Amino acid sequence: MTESVHTTDAVEKTLELRASPERVWRALIDPVELGSWFPDRVDDLDEPSGGWLVWEKHGRYAIRVVETDPPRRLVWTWARKPETPLDDAPTTTVVWTLEATASGGTRLHLRESGFATREARDGNDKGWDQELGELVEYLSA
């Protein structure tokens, strides 16, 4: 198992979504739905050993769901290097927290931590802006 040196820096994002927590949850956990807005495809997400998030442009990234509390909290860990099994790569942890709003929507909070470098953290910070924009579009369709 690879040991990573981590900084205390994390990416944190909060969004107000019009969709219910149950609807947002499905977009985060269902492999077909997740593959419709985040990677190009999801392979074997529900396997205990983990699966892969696949981007045609960037390659396959190993992922493992480590905690679920539907529809409130989802935690996954994923590899920082493409084409590398999870146990052989530096990883980060993504925590999704969903909270119902008075209007029937969802306040979504994302926190990704465990970055080894500030550069890696900054790259994912920008990446999450794009990906969460795609989630908003997906849920609006």
Q: What is the DSSP string of 103-136?
A: TS-EEEEEEEE--SSHHHHHHHHHHHHHHHHHHH
Q: What is the pLDDT of residue 5?
A: 40
Q: What is the pLDDT of residue 107?
A: 98
What pTM value is reported for the model?
0.91
SS3 9: coil
Q: What is the pLDDT of residue 101?
A: 97
Number of H helices, E strands in the chain: 3, 7
C-alpha angle 54/136/43, rounded to 5°? 20
Q: What is the pLDDT of residue 94?
A: 98
Q: What is the pLDDT of residue 134?
A: 97
What DSSP character marks residue 90?
-
Kindly list the domain boundaries of the chain, sorted by start residue. 10-140
Sheet (strand 41-43) strand order: 10-17, 106-113, 91-100, 73-79, 59-69, 51-55, 41-43
Q: What is the pLDDT of residue 43?
A: 93
Q: What is the pLDDT of residue 8?
A: 53
Collect the ranges in the chain with pLDDT lower than 70.
1-8
- Sequence-separated (6 or more) residues with CB below 8 Å from residue 84: 62
| CATH for the stretch 10-140 | 3.30.530.20
